[in-house]
Structure 1
Amino acid sequence: MTVFKKVLRRVTEYLITFHLKAFKVKKKYLHLLASPNIRKHFHVHSRMMNGGPEPPLDRIMHFLESIFTSTDVSVLSSESKCKQFCNFYSHLPEEEKMIFLKLLSQHYGVNQNSERGEAILLKAEERLRNSLISQYQTLFSKIGRIEGGVKFLVDMRADILTHLPSVSCDKEVAHMRTLNTTIRDLLALWFSVGFLKLRRITWESPCDMVQKVSDYEAVHPIRNWTDLKRRVGPYRRCFVFTHKSMPREPSIITSQPAAVKQDENSYNADSDSSSEDPLRITTAVFYSITSTQKASGESLDRPLLLESEITGLKAVMEQETSNVLELFKGVLSTTNWVTNQVLCTEMKNPLMRLCARYLYIEKRRGYALNSVANFHLGNGAVMWRINWLADTSMRGLNQSCGMMVNYRYFLDNTMENSRRYLETHYIEAPEELVSIATQSDS
Structure 2
Amino acid sequence: MNARRGRSGLQGVFERIGVWSRSPRNPAEHHELSSRDLGRLDRVFKRLTDTTELSGRRRLAAELVTLWAEDVPPARANLLRALAEGALPDDAQRVALGVLGSSSPEVGAPARQRLELLADAQRAVRTRADAILDELGAAPGGVRFLVELRAAAIDVAARDDDAAASALDLLVQARLQVLMTPALIELRRLDWDTPASLLQRVAALEKVHPIESIDQLRSRLADDRAAFALFHPGMHGEPLAFVWLAFTKGIPDSLDRIIGPHAGTVPVDRADTAVFWSISSPQPGLAGMGFGNELIKATVNELRTTHPTVSTYVTLSPVPSFAQHVLATISGDEDHEEFSGAGAAPPEGVAGAGAIDQPPRTMLGTLGMNRPADEVQRLLSDDIWMVSDEAARYGGRFLKLAAEYLTDTDAGGRSPDPVANFHLGNGAQLARLCWGANRTHDGVARSLTLMANYLYEPDRLSERAGHYRTEGQVSVGDDVARLLDEASD
TM-score bracket, shorter-length normalisation: 0.5 to 0.7
Q: Structure 1: which amino acid aligns with 2:185?
A: L
- Identify the range of structure 1 (306-315 vs 250-259) with the bigger mean alpha-carbon deviation: 306-315
Paired AA for residue 327 in structure 1: E
Going from structure 1 to structure 2, the CA distance change for 1:322 and 1:269 (only over 3 Å counts) comes to closer
Q: Does structure 1 retain, via aligned residues, the 8 Å contact 2:437–2:449? A: yes
1:242 aligned partner:
231
Q: Residues 381 and 418 of structure 1 are in contact (CA less than 8 Å); yes or no, is this contact kept in structure 2?
A: yes
Shift of 1:136: 2.3
- Give the match for residue 198 of structure 2: 209
Question: In 1, Cα distance between the equivalents of 2:450 and 2:147?
Answer: 32
Give, in angstroms, the shift of residue 407 of structure 1: 1.4
Tell me whether 1:280 sits opposite 2:231 in the alignment: no
Q: Give yes or no for the alignment of 1:260 onto 2:307.
A: no
Aligned partner letter, 2:195: P
Provide the rounded CA distance (Å) in 1 between the counterparts of 2:411 and 2:343: 24
Give the Å deviation of 1:223.
1.0
SS class of match (1:220): coil
Give the alignment of 1:119-134 within 5 angstroms.
Answer: 119=112, 122-123=115-116, 125-126=118-119, 129-130=122-123, 132-134=125-127
Rate the CA distance shift 1:272–1:137 in 2: closer, same or farther, 3 A: farther
1:369 shift after superposition: 1.0
Q: Does 1:229 align with 2:218?
A: yes
Q: Which amino acid aligns with 1:252?
A: P
Residues 386 and 113 of structure 1: CA distance in aligned 2, closer, same or farther (over 3 Å): closer
**Bigger radius of gyration:** 1
Matches of 2:387 and 2:427, distance apart in 1: 38
1:209 alignment partner AA: L
Pick closer, same or farther for the CA change 1:122–1:361 going to 2, 3 Å: closer
Match of 1:309 in 2: 346
| Cα 1:322–1:352 shift into 2, 3 Å | closer
Q: Which runs of 5+ in 1 are unaligned?
A: 1-109
Paired amino acid for 1:434: A
- Aligned amino acid, residue 277 of structure 1: P
Task: State the alpha-carbon separation in 2 of the partners of residues 425 and 338 from structure 1.
Answer: 32
Contact (CA 8 Å) 1:216, 1:255: kept in 2 or not?
no
**For the residues of structure 2 that align with 1:124 and 1:386, how far apart are their CA atoms?**
53
Contact 2:224–2:247, Cα closer than 8 Å, also in 1: yes
Name the aligned partner's letter for residue 245 of structure 2.
A
Secondary structure of 1:140 counterpart? helix
* Residue from 407, 421, 431 that aligns with 2:468: 421
- CA distance in 2 between counterparts of 1:266 and 1:166 reads 38
**175, 196, 200: which is aligned to 1:186?**
175
C-alpha distance after superposition, 1:76-104 (max 9, x if no partner): xxxxxxxxxxxxxxxxxxxxxxxxxxxxx
Structural mapping, 1:13-412, within 5 Å? 111=105, 119=112, 122-123=115-116, 125-126=118-119, 129-130=122-123, 132-146=125-139, 148-164=141-157, 173=163, 175-243=164-232, 245-246=233-234, 249-265=236-252, 267=254, 268-269=257-258, 277-285=267-275, 286-292=313-319, 293=321, 294=323, 295-296=325-326, 297-298=329-330, 307-309=344-346, 313-315=350-352, 323=371, 325-338=373-386, 340-341=388-389, 343-361=390-408, 363=410, 365-412=412-459
The residue identity in structure 2 corresponding to 1:333 is S
Q: Give the structure 2 partner of residue 431 of structure 1.
A: 478
SS of 1:412 mapped into structure 2: coil
Q: Deviations over 1:364-396 (max 9, x none)?
A: 522211111111111111112222222222222
Asked if 2 retains the 8 angstrom alpha-carbon contact of 1:356 and 1:436, the reply is yes
Residue 167 and residue 396 in structure 1: after superposition, are their counterparts in 2 closer, same or farther (change >3 A)?
closer
What secondary structure does 1:260 align onto? strand
1: CA distance, partners of 2:132 / 2:418:
33
Q: Percent identity?
A: 20
User: Which residue identity does 1:215 align to in structure 2?
Assistant: A
Q: Distance in 1 between matches of 2:423 and 2:484?
A: 19
Deviations 1:253-281 (A, max 9, x none): 322312111333465346999x9724431
Distance 2:128 2:187 in 1: 34
The 1:120/1:254 distance shift into structure 2, 3 A limit, reads closer
Q: How far 1:240 sits from its partner (Å)?
A: 0.9
Query: Any conservation in 2 of the 1:309–1:350 contact (CA below 8 Å)?
Result: no
What is the distance in 1 between the residues matched to 2:379 and 2:396? 15
Q: Residue 144 and residue 389 in structure 1: after superposition, are their counterparts in 2 closer, same or farther (change >3 A)?
A: farther
Counterpart contact for 2:430–2:455, Cα < 8 Å: yes
Q: What CA distance in whole angstroms lies between the structure 2 residues aligned with 1:181 and 1:364?
A: 24
Amino acid at match of 1:262: K
Give CA-to-partner distance per residue, 1:116-142, whole Å, 9 cap, x none.
x75466456436534643342233233
**What's the offset of the Cα at 1:412?**
0.8
Alpha-carbon RMSD = 3.6
Inter-partner Cα distance in structure 2 for 1:389 and 1:185: 42
The 3-state SS of whatever aligns with 2:231 is strand
Residue type at the aligned position of 1:281: A
What is the Cα deviation at residue 331 of structure 1? 0.5
Task: Note the residue ranges of structure 2 that are not aligned, 5 or more in a row.
Answer: 1-103, 276-312, 354-368
Task: Kindly provide the amino acid, as one letter, of the partner of residue 474 in structure 2.
Answer: I
Tell me which residue corresponds to 2:282: none
1-structure distance, mates of 2:108, 2:384: 78
TM-aligned CA deviation for residue 209 of structure 1: 2.5
CA contact (8 A) 2:406 2:420 kept: yes
Per-residue Cα deviation, 1:23-79 (whole angstroms, up to 9, x for no partner) = xxxxxxxxxxxxxxxxxxxxxxxxxxxxxxxxxxxxxxxxxxxxxxxxxxxxxxxxx
Q: Which amino acid aligns with 2:317?
A: T
Contact 1:291–1:400 (Cα < 8 Å) also in 2: yes
Aligned length: 319
Amino acid at match of 2:346: E
Contact 2:347 2:393 in 1 (8 A): no
Q: Tell me, what secondary structure is at the counterpart of 1:263? A: coil
1:403 offset after TM fit, Å? Answer: 1.7
C-alpha change, 1:148 and 1:262, in structure 2 (3 Å) is farther
The answer on whether the counterparts of 1:384 and 1:429 sit within 8 Å (CA) in structure 2 is yes
Q: d(CA) in 2 for partners of 1:441 and 1:306?
A: 15
TM-score by length of 1: 0.62
Q: Identify which range, 276-285 or 220-229, moves more after superposition.
A: 276-285
Q: Helix, strand or coil: the match of 2:382?
A: coil
Residue by residue over 1:199-218, the C-alpha shift from the partner in whole angstroms, topping out at 9 and shown as x without a partner, is 22112122233223212223
